[in-house]
Chain A
Amino acid sequence: MKIEGKCFVFGDNVNTDEIIPARYLNTSDPFELAKYCMEDIRPGFGKREDIKGSIIVAGENFGCGSSREHAPIAIKAAGISCVIAKSFARIFFRNAINIALPIVELKEVEEFDEGDVVEVDFENGIIKNKTKNKTYTVHSYPELLREILKFGGWLEYCLKKSGGDTE
């Protein structure tokens, strides 16, 4: 799996309240949530057309705070194709994989600027910053996580593994 998109750059410790503020949690409709994605740190972000297919680049501890699954759901439904961060909070990492939002850890995120065009090759663990003409190697996903993402999420994976028979 390969994706390519424009970067939107955020800082360290982006917490789940910033990703989707609690006041919008009275719905679990992904597309409603998407409208308010990053609302408190970048107003109007979730409603922009040009974020479809784009990549969020952030610093350390992305997704810290509560364990709410609404956070990766909002990002995914907003059309973001991948999050690249220096590190992720543990439960956010789980939740993102479980709903099939691709996320990648990369140490050199400081070298990325807003608007850079970036390609992520998940299979081979290669990130190319096409604007800056630089290539980075990252840990490629272990097979298990690749399968979960391929099937579209953890519960889809579970269904597949049980042969669709959950009797």
Chain B
Amino acid sequence: MTLAEKILSRKAGKKSVEPGEYLLLDVDVALANDITAPIAIENFKKYGGKKVFSPEKLVLVPDHFVPNKDIKSAMQVKLLRDFAKEQEIKNFFEVGRMGIEHVILPDLGIVKSGDLVVGADSHTCTYGALGAFATGVGSTDIAGVMLIGKIWLKVPESIKIELHGSFNEFVTAKDLILKIISILGVDGATYKSIEFLGSGVENITMDGRFTISNMAIEAGGKTGLFPVDERTVEYEKERNITVEKMYPDEDAKYFKSLNIDLKTLEPQVAYPFLPSNCKNISEAEKDRIKVDQVVIGSCTNGRIEDLRLAAEIFKNHRVNPDVRCIIIPGSQEVYKQALNEGLINIFMEAECAVSTPTCGPCLGGHMGILAKDEIAVSTTNRNFVGRMGHPDSKVFLASPAVAAASAIKGFIADPRKL
């Protein structure tokens, strides 16, 4: 069995499951945010819900438009806050104690290896890094979990990405996943589980794995899974969680396989308006694309390693006078750690703006909206038309290293040449 089949068969209490099979399963964790939870709560009440099925399984994270950007978002967060109090949902995260959902849930040990996680947010697939079957669903699905604690799922076919070797300097997990999306295409993994396997996996850190699994959805993937190996077991141990290693069976059936040698990768830049629209940085740099804004953060690249990498590049440099650079630690914990390690100081000296955790500009919410014809280099996950502001603005996706180098140079630049 593949990793997906293993997790789902365990959840179903069956010896094995086949792709295409439908299952009705108990959910370990269900999450929703300030945009999607209100519809779920409304449906829960409409269907006569009085007490949620298991308050300990529900997680409500106001992260998209917080600190509240306007009256409408304040009302939505208030709805979540009141519901969490009324239903005794302890996993509600208030400003000052919060972070982006996909950064905090693994860090706090709320989701763990082997779990079945559903979230009313497409980037729920992030937890696949832990070897958890995690997938984005609709608000009605979350209302269903509130009512009976269950979800229906189709067992997906799986795609194997076999990794070898290790990254060269300034090449990151972000570059790998962008490369994979450019090979598969934005719908190349629709309905499917993407599984990252091979000897190269052991050379990818947990933060890197979160970045990779996070963007499985950008290839249409239902989930993006890593095996549970030494690193995962260690990560969970630090959170007082004991898990066992998990790999796919030798005879697991894959719909498709891909081989990638990490050593051959270069930093990538995804041009507008699709994450699959990638170029190597050596090519992209020749285009001399002038940059107005740089964003470093999000559920894709807002973890401590991302900030360390950015700080390494910003040290003894300043942001180009024509560029605004906004850095958003993914959680209060990441922020504190960055502060203790002196990273925030480096950013401030380099004249970056450092924000409290929020999804903010990634989806054009707040904290850095683009004007007409402006160009941003961003470590986020989508570069669709108007994603970060004006419909005539453009977003180029890249790693924290490329983003930081571009902020310093004022055009899309190669961090290896700085």
Contacts of A167 on B, CB cut-off 8 Å? 50-51
The answer to whether B47 touches A159 (Cβ under 8 A) is yes
Cβ of B150 < 8 Å from any Cβ of A? Answer: yes
Cβ of B147 < 8 Å from any Cβ of A? Answer: yes
Distance between Cα atoms of A69 and B42 in the complex (Å): 14
Distance between Cα atoms of A121 and B263 in the complex (Å): 54
Cβ of B269 < 8 Å from any Cβ of A? Answer: no
Interface 1/0 per residue, B144-156 and A, CB below 8 Å = 1001101010000
Interface 1/0 per residue, A144-159 and B, CB below 8 Å = 1100100000111011
CB < 8 Å neighbour of B147 from A61, A148, A158? A158
The answer to whether B148 touches A158 (Cβ under 8 A) is yes
In angstroms, how far is the closest chain B Cβ from the Cβ of A163?
A: 10
Contacts of B139 on A, CB cut-off 8 Å? 69
Instruction: For chain B, residues 35 to 55, give those with C-beta under 8 angstroms from any C-beta of chain A.
Output: 39, 43, 47-51
Which candidate, A3-11, A32-40, A49-57, A88-96, is the interface stretch facing chain B?
A88-96
Distance between Cα atoms of A94 and B50 in the complex (Å): 25
Cβ of A126 < 8 Å from any Cβ of B? Answer: no
CB < 8 Å neighbour of A95 from B122, B140, B143, B147? B140
**Given A89-B190, A144-B152, A155-B47, A98 and B140 contact (CB-CB distance below 8 Å):** yes
**Given A144-B22, A158-B147, A162-B148, A90 and B48 contact (CB-CB distance below 8 Å):** no
The answer to whether B147 touches A159 (Cβ under 8 A) is yes
Contacts of A159 on B, CB cut-off 8 Å? 47-48, 147
Cβ of A134 < 8 Å from any Cβ of B? Answer: no
Residue of B nearest to A97 (CB): B152
In angstroms, how far is the closest chain B Cβ from the Cβ of A13?
A: 9
Cβ of A99 < 8 Å from any Cβ of B? Answer: yes
The answer to whether B148 touches A142 (Cβ under 8 A) is no
Cβ of A161 < 8 Å from any Cβ of B? Answer: yes
Cβ of B81 < 8 Å from any Cβ of A? Answer: no
The answer to whether A67 touches B143 (Cβ under 8 A) is no
In angstroms, how far is the closest chain A Cβ from the Cβ of B76?
A: 15
The answer to whether A145 touches B22 (Cβ under 8 A) is yes
Number of A residues, CB within 8 Å of B: 28
The answer to whether A67 touches B147 (Cβ under 8 A) is no
**Given A159-B48, A167-B51, A91 and B136 contact (CB-CB distance below 8 Å):** yes
Contacts of B47 on A, CB cut-off 8 Å? 155-156, 158-159, 166
Residue of A nearest to B49 (CB): A166
Interface 1/0 per residue, A115-145 and B, CB below 8 Å = 0000000000000000000000001001111
In angstroms, how far is the closest chain A Cβ from the Cβ of B138?
A: 5
The answer to whether A90 touches B190 (Cβ under 8 A) is yes
Contacts of A91 on B, CB cut-off 8 Å? 136-138
Residue of A nearest to B192 (CB): A90
The main secondary structure of chain A at its interface with chain B is helix
The answer to whether A154 touches B51 (Cβ under 8 A) is no
Cβ of A164 < 8 Å from any Cβ of B? Answer: yes
Distance between Cα atoms of A155 and B51 in the complex (Å): 15
Distance between Cα atoms of A61 and B23 in the complex (Å): 23
Residue of B nearest to A139 (CB): B20
In angstroms, how far is the closest chain A Cβ from the Cβ of B15?
A: 18
The answer to whether A155 touches B140 (Cβ under 8 A) is yes
Distance between Cα atoms of A98 and B139 in the complex (Å): 10
Distance between Cα atoms of A99 and B43 in the complex (Å): 12
Distance between Cα atoms of A166 and B144 in the complex (Å): 11
**Given A155-B147, A166-B49, A69 and B22 contact (CB-CB distance below 8 Å):** no
Distance between Cα atoms of A95 and B36 in the complex (Å): 14
The answer to whether B138 touches A166 (Cβ under 8 A) is no
**Given A142-B22, A166-B48, A94 and B148 contact (CB-CB distance below 8 Å):** no
**Given A142-B21, A144-B24, A67 and B144 contact (CB-CB distance below 8 Å):** no
Interface 1/0 per residue, A43-83 and B, CB below 8 Å = 00000000000000000010010010100000000000000
Distance between Cα atoms of A143 and B21 in the complex (Å): 10
Contacts of A69 on B, CB cut-off 8 Å? 39, 138-140
Contacts of B51 on A, CB cut-off 8 Å? 166-167
Residue of A nearest to B137 (CB): A94
Cβ of B191 < 8 Å from any Cβ of A? Answer: yes
The answer to whether B48 touches A164 (Cβ under 8 A) is yes
10 cross-chain CB contacts under 8 A: A61-B190, A67-B122, A95-B140, A144-B22, A148-B152, A154-B141, A158-B150, A159-B147, A162-B147, A166-B49
Using CB atoms and an 8 Å cutoff, list the residues of chain A in contact with chain B: 61, 64, 67, 69, 89-91, 94-95, 97-99, 139, 142-145, 148, 154-156, 158-159, 161-162, 164, 166-167
With A61-B187, A67-B136 given, name 9 new contacts (CB 8 A): A61-B190, A64-B187, A98-B144, A143-B22, A148-B152, A158-B144, A166-B49, A166-B50, A166-B51
Ranked 4 nearest A-B pairs via Cβ:
A158-B147, A142-B22, A158-B148, A98-B140
